[in-house]
Structure 1
Amino acid sequence: MRALSHAFTRLYQGAALVLAVVVLNFVLLHAAPGDLVETIAGASGGMSEELKAELRTQYGLDKPLHTQLGIYLSKVVQGDLGHSHFFNLPVSTMIGERVPATLLLVVTAVLAAFVFGTLLGVLSSRKPNGLLSQFINTVSLVGFAAPVFWTGIMLVLLFSSVLPLFPVSGMRDIDSAGATGLADALSVLHHLVLPALTLGLIYLAQYSRLARASMLDVLGSDYIRTARAKGLSQRVVMYKHALRNAILPVITILGLQFGNVMAGAILVETVFNWPGLGRLAFESVLRRDFPTILGVLLFSSMVVVVMNLLTDYCYRLIDPRIKTS
């Protein structure tokens, strides 16, 4: 009963947070300098004042800001995210088409960074002053310091001219447009390598350093000394007893940083021309397509809230002390 009450409380808090994010995004976008109708007029080479006024009425821009916000919120509750001013398509349709590509990129990068970063942190904690630990720390520092867009550009230059092993643009080969099944999956995976590597490197560096510090802290605990005194092998002590507690901070950071991963995906998708939500958001910002921007931000905030809820659940699942508290 307590767990059910906790779940409802967390869901209520998540819904309230999403609502606050929607309102804040709407107000900030409409407070930004510039005018949508003027942008459309400039892109079309000019427009009469009568047509501009008609467009403002059509898009509801002639109404007060609070009225526009109320109309938008009422539509969002009904599942209507509006109509794109530039692409002339429903925003929900465009987001639905782009979500699989972004989720594939983000999930692949995050899982790879989590798994390999944790393993590197565990390896470096076995001999903190050894050569392997120093090498991993150096690589982690470089990966953490390098901006995502710089890493992407360097990989594009490397694998487009020096080592042409992976494609540097798009999600599929041009000559495999009609491919299905295994051939299509292999083409997507081939194009996924560089974007996922670019997005995952910085988080791999963070997770490896955090896992190393957490492991060193746990390895000094009394129960670890007791386990070693019982004659348990180093592998059992490290991976069965120490890692279970040391991995908790890594999981927490994984959930909290999912919003940063979504933001990083915008840069990565732009560099590699990956057809996901990040690319859609970038194009919409350039064209001041407010409904599309708001739709992408709403979806991203919902993903972050869901990931935080899942992180909380995983935390309680791994640590029995939280489950009973």
Structure 2
Amino acid sequence: MILRVAQGATVVFAAATLAFVLLQLAPGDPATALGEGISPELRATIRTQYGLDDSIAVQYGRWLSSLLRGDLGWSRDQHRPVAAVLSDALPRTLFLMGCALSVSLVGGMLVGAWQGARAGSRRDRATSTALLVLYSLPEFWLALVLVVLFAHYLRWLPATGITGDMYDYMNTREQLLDRLRHLVLPLASLSLVGVAVFARYQRNAMQDSMAQAFVRTARAKGLTESAVRREAWRSALLPVITMTGVMLPALITGAVFVERVFSWPGMGFAMIRAIEARDYPVVSAGVILGSALTACGAALADIAREIADPRLRSP
């Protein structure tokens, strides 16, 4: 456990340092992001005020010192602490990612197990082709297609936001339905590709499990086919559990673009706004948070694998 924590902390620190250096080397700064109507004197004053004219080493030392004290800095674009920006945006992103991961995991496991038990059949080949096409689609492109189809042409679902304009005037049931309607398209954009990913891994693992000797033994003992498939499915869970931790970075990356498309007020939306405004403290804090979530996801996946298969536990 101590080793996992040390490894996670190293990953987060390395990602945060790399993000800081790359942001400093990127063209432009908060002073240039103000536009063309700002005088050179005012730009110079802003750079001096925020210490932007110091060397990268000095800025890094100042940033690292503040970070070790738990101070994430001040958002120059939103004029409030970065911690306040994250506390507003993070719960919305975690909710969206949690729903997407749950739908992807359950849907992918069901589809993949169904395919693995029928490997080589026409239905399996047709489903594999459809999943491969879905797996190849970028989340932001899929999001745009869903907006055009279901929000523009069919007008079944809202295209942007987390709630409607009349949300405050609705009763509890109407508010719940309004939130669900706004959730459908962002959730579908993130989870459909995830279903394809989990299904491919579950199918291959299920196919390998069905070819094991214990399956033949179970059939020889007279177990029903459904019971045999259930035992094979339990044996095929390890690759899917591992994939759950790997999917977190993909979900974080996908959420950045999906939240932008649907104006979902989460971390992705805040990060893109901060990049456009050269609000580097928010960008750095977002990278740190994303790295921490990724490290935690990998650690939880390792723990889940050890619970599922005690043979993997360290002596």
Q: TM-score range by the shorter chain?
A: over 0.9
Query: Residue 227 of structure 2 aligns to which amino acid in structure 1?
Result: V
Q: Which residue of 2 aligns with 1:229?
A: 220
Q: Which residue of 2 aligns with 1:4?
A: none
Match of 2:28 among 21, 24, 34: 34
Residue 299 of structure 1 and its aligned partner are, at CA, apart by 0.9
Structure 1's 276 and 216: CA in aligned 2 closer, same or farther, altered over 3 A? same
Q: Which residue of 2 aligns with 1:3?
A: none
CA deviation profile, 1:241-262 (whole Å, cap 9, x unmatched): 2122212111212201211110
Match of 1:312 among 288, 298, 302: 302
CA deviation profile, 1:204-230 (whole Å, cap 9, x unmatched): 111111111111111111122212221
For the Cα contact (< 8 Å) 1:125–1:216, is it kept in 2?
Answer: yes
For the Cα contact (< 8 Å) 2:248–2:294, is it kept in 1?
Answer: yes
What is the Cα-based RMSD across aligned positions, in Å? 1.6
Structure 1's 12 and 219: CA in aligned 2 closer, same or farther, altered over 3 A? same
Query: Residue 61 of structure 1 aligns to which amino acid in structure 2?
Result: L
**CA–CA distance in structure 1, aligned partners of residues 283 and 250 of structure 2:** 17
Gaps of 5+ in 1: 1-6
**CA–CA distance in structure 2, aligned partners of residues 251 and 70 of structure 1:** 39
Q: How many residues align?
A: 315
For the Cα contact (< 8 Å) 1:98–1:276, is it kept in 2?
Answer: yes
Gaps of 5+ in 2: none
Match of 1:167 among 158, 166, 172: 158
**CA–CA distance in structure 2, aligned partners of residues 72 and 181 of structure 1:** 45
For the Cα contact (< 8 Å) 2:139–2:257, is it kept in 1?
Answer: yes
Q: Which residue of 1 aligns with 2:125?
A: 134
For the Cα contact (< 8 Å) 2:137–2:193, is it kept in 1?
Answer: yes
Q: What TM-score, normalized by structure 2, do the two folds share?
A: 0.95
CA deviation profile, 1:46-80 (whole Å, cap 9, x unmatched): 2242x323211221112221121111112112221
Q: What SS does the aligned partner of 1:67 have? A: helix
Q: What SS does the aligned partner of 1:174 have? A: coil
Q: Which residue of 2 aligns with 1:92?
A: 83
Structure 2 counterparts to residues 1-325 of structure 1, below 5 A: 7-40=1-34, 42=35, 45-49=37-41, 51-177=42-168, 181-239=172-230, 241-323=231-313, 325=315
Residue 324 of structure 1 and its aligned partner are, at CA, apart by 5.8
For the Cα contact (< 8 Å) 1:245–1:319, is it kept in 2?
Answer: no
% of aligned pairs identical?
35
Q: Which moved more, 1:110-119 or 1:29-38?
A: 29-38
**CA–CA distance in structure 2, aligned partners of residues 46 and 60 of structure 1:** 18
**CA–CA distance in structure 2, aligned partners of residues 31 and 297 of structure 1:** 16
Q: What SS does the aligned partner of 2:111 have? A: helix
